[in-house]
């Protein structure tokens, strides 16, 4: 992995981390009851978990697709 790719990945990770932390702080600092805040946090966590699962499945499909293309490319050359 070259340096440019590392910088992009690090920047993306830093952005996502800041986004999650900022959202969490915003929810915790909001003027509402504790019950409502906990409900919002639980819903956020459930939604995030679903998105992570979807992303993981999409990433797995993309890797499988790339592997198949690579195998066909190598097979065509051999």
pLDDT score, position 26: 84
Give this prediction's pTM: 0.45
Digit-coded pLDDT (tens) for 44-61 = 889 988 999 999 999 999
Half-sphere exposure of 55 (CA within 13 A, CB side): 6
pLDDT score, position 15: 94
Arithmetic mean of pLDDT, 14-25 = 90
pLDDT score, position 77: 66
Length of the chain: 78
User: What distance in Å separates the CA atoms of residue 38 and residue 12, rounded to the nearest whole number?
Assistant: 28
3-state secondary structure of 78: coil
**Cα angle 50-51-56, degrees, rounded to a multiple of 5:** 100
pLDDT score, position 19: 92
């Amino acid at each position: 992995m070259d340096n440019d790719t590392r910088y992009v990945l690090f920047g993306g990770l830093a952005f996502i981390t800041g986004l999650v932390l900022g959202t969490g702080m915003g929810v915790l600092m909001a003027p509402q009851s504790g019950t409502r805040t906990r409900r919002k946090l639980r819903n956020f966590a459930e939604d995030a978990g679903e998105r992570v699962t979807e992303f993981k499945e999409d990433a797995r499909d993309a890797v499988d697709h790339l592997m198949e293309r690579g195998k066909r490319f190598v097979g065509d050359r051999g």
